[in-house]
Amino acid sequence: MRTRTAQLLCLIAVLAAGCGQGHSSGGGGGDDGGGQAGNGDADRRARQVAAAWDGSDAAEAWRRGFHPMADLVQLPDHAFRTAADKEAYQMQNFALRGRLPTAAAQKGTVKWGDGRALTLPMMDAREGFGTLDRYSGEGPELVVTGARLGRTELATSRGPATVPAWLFTIRGYGTPLERVALAPSEAPESPIGPAAEVPSDVLWPLEQVKETAQDGRSVTVLAGHGECDDGPAVDVLETGGSVVLSGSIRNPSEGDCPDVLKITKVTVTLARPLGDRVLLDAFTGRPVPYGTEFGRNPSWD
């Protein structure tokens, strides 16, 4: 029987689709993919997802690509000086009061510590500025007075890498705002479909990856839950090729509850560093999306 918490969360997350009983739309291993997860099925579903991905073409394509696991924008030191500056950044309201390099777009190289490299098309300075400045209304603004091409270090699905970045000079700050100059690779098609059409309180999709520890031994994710429960839980299944995270809701309410979707940070400790293993969501059967305050990383758009 679906709890009141699950009903409310379904209403919020998949209102257009309704919240009827879900069914399997994909599978891995030797059975139907788990269907609507039950008390004993979440671990089985996680193992199906791991079996579908480990050794697959999708996993190989994922490892060959450039999939950032950190924000594509690195703020200047001591940002933000004022509440207005912070508001301008959150609104994505930038103003150009100088000249940007006009050289045509080139190729840029991602370099990993183990010697691997990947060359990709690189955006020019004006395109990079356009990814920052997305608001055209009134309000506080951050003023860009120039830019130069440099490099920055970024966490990726294949470990830390150095990547080309546009270093924008921001009026009032002594260090630049760094914007990665490469677009993330497109995520490969998953070899397994979602566990069901809609979530349940025993298997719920994760919102996004928030942070990966520098040593790779823990991952912090954002997980959803309701107003009248004990918050989210995230279980982990580790294999040689993947790490599968299963989100659920602890002690969901059976009674009346406000229609509120709450998002909570959950840190999961791993038995060994994540490395280039694929970080997967048991419910969706896909890599857990990395996101920023402006939404998901373009790898998952």
Q: Tell me: the pLDDT tens digits for 109-165?
A: 999 988 999 999 999 999 999 999 999 889 999 999 999 999 999 888 888 899 999
Residue partners of 219: CB distance under 8 A and separation at least 6: 209, 211, 212, 213, 243, 245, 267, 268, 270, 274, 279
Of 152-156, 270-274, 295-299, the poorest mean pLDDT is in 295-299
Q: Which of 132, 69, 109, 67 is nearest to 299 (CA)?
A: 67
For the cut 70, the answer to whether the pLDDT of residue 20 exceeds it is no
pLDDT band at 292 (very low <50, low <70, confident <90, very high): low
33-44 pLDDT tens trace = 333 344 568 899
pLDDT band at 91 (very low <50, low <70, confident <90, very high): very high
Compute and round to an integer the Cα radius of gyration of the chain: 21
Of 59-68, 88-97, 200-209, the poorest mean pLDDT is in 200-209
Cα–Cα dist 234/268, whole Å: 7
DSSP state of 299: G
165-221 pLDDT tens trace = 999 999 999 999 999 999 889 889 999 999 988 888 789 899 888 888 888 899 999
Q: Which of helix, strand or coil describes residue 6?
A: helix
List alpha helices for the chain, DSSP H: 4-13, 42-53, 57-64, 83-91, 125-132
Q: What is the rounded average pLDDT of the residues 260-274?
A: 90
pLDDT at 52: 97
**DSSP per-residue string spanning 178-246:** EEE-BPPPPPPPPSS--S-SS-BTTBB-EEEEEEE-TTSSEEEEEEEE-SSSS-EEEEEEE-SSEEEEE
For the cut 60, the answer to whether the pLDDT of residue 285 exceeds it is yes
pLDDT at 197: 86
CA angle 301, 296, 63 (to 5 degrees): 70
pLDDT at 23: 29
Q: Which of 244, 249, 234 is nearest to 202 (CA)?
A: 249
* Domain boundaries of the chain, sorted by first residue: 4-65+189-289, 73-180
212-266 pLDDT tens trace = 888 889 999 998 877 787 788 999 999 999 999 999 988 877 777 777 778 889 9
pLDDT at 290: 82
Q: Which of 153, 247, 235, 154 is nearest to 195 (CA)?
A: 247
pTM for the full predicted model: 0.74
Q: Which two tokens stand for residue 166?
A: 């546009």
CB 283, CB 194: distance < 8 Å: yes
For the cut 80, the answer to whether the pLDDT of residue 2 exceeds it is no
Q: Which residue has the higher pLDDT, 29 or 207?
A: 207
Q: Which of 89, 90, 104 is nearest to 170 (CA)?
A: 89
pLDDT at 297: 52
CB 128, CB 179: distance < 8 Å: yes
Q: Which two tokens stand for residue 210?
A: 């928030």
pLDDT at 35: 36
Match 């699950």 to its residue by tokens.
6
pLDDT at 108: 94
